[in-house]
Amino acid sequence: MVDATTVVFETHSWSEDNDRSVATGWLPGRLSERGRELAAELGDRRRGDGLDAVFSSDLERAAETTRIAFSGMTLPVFLDWRLRECDYGRLNGAPAAQMAAEKPARIRTPYPGGESWEQALDRVLGFLRDVTSRWQGRRVLVIGHVATRWALDHFVNGISIEELIASDFGWREGWEFTVTSSGLPTAAS
């Protein structure tokens, strides 16, 4: 595909909130000691991977992952607020079990004072449109959150939001997506 952009997705590294089973949402969060080690491993794993740029959520846990992973490298790094997690509004920082139970009801209905999952995925779609337009034919790394990965799965692979919410996130060391600007919707679907 001539206009394809390869998007390599990695989640932010393990945070102190992950240790405490807290759904951080739009709160900044900080990496745990384990998370800092995993971030360094991410950098080692992606060094020499043919990346042209790194894009990261601007939330601290993702930005810290990026700083640790790519310290001393010459890759251009961009922080982008559109790569943030879903905004849980007044529930940012709530127990993860409470947030998991709440997700199905928040597909199209926003969290109190926050956004819906559909709105979060639309926000990431704006980023995807920009990156495929400006980094056409290139290989970029994106460091984000559940909402970031779900947007890729939804808009690139056609997986419904309902199916994504019902399934396990299934963490692994990176996902790779071939994204074309012509293949992205002009509005959320």
Separation CA 184–CA 75 (nearest Å): 26
Q: How far is CA 6 from CA 61, 64, 78, 145, 156, in A?
A: 24, 23, 16, 18, 11
Q: Give me the amino acid identity at 83.
A: L
Q: What's the rounded Cα separation, in Å, for the pair 121 and 100? A: 17
Q: Please say if 85 is a catalytic residue.
A: yes
**133 vs 137: CA distance, rounded Å:** 9
Q: Find the catalytic residue in 10, 64, 85, 115.
A: 85
Active site residue 145: no
Quote the CA–CA distance of 6 and 70 in Å, as a whole number: 19
Beta strands in 90-138 (DSSP E): 94-95
DSSP structure class, residue 93: T
* CA 38 – CA 26 distance, rounded (Å): 22
Q: Which of 12, 115, 118, 154 is catalytic?
A: 12
Catalytic positions are 12, 85
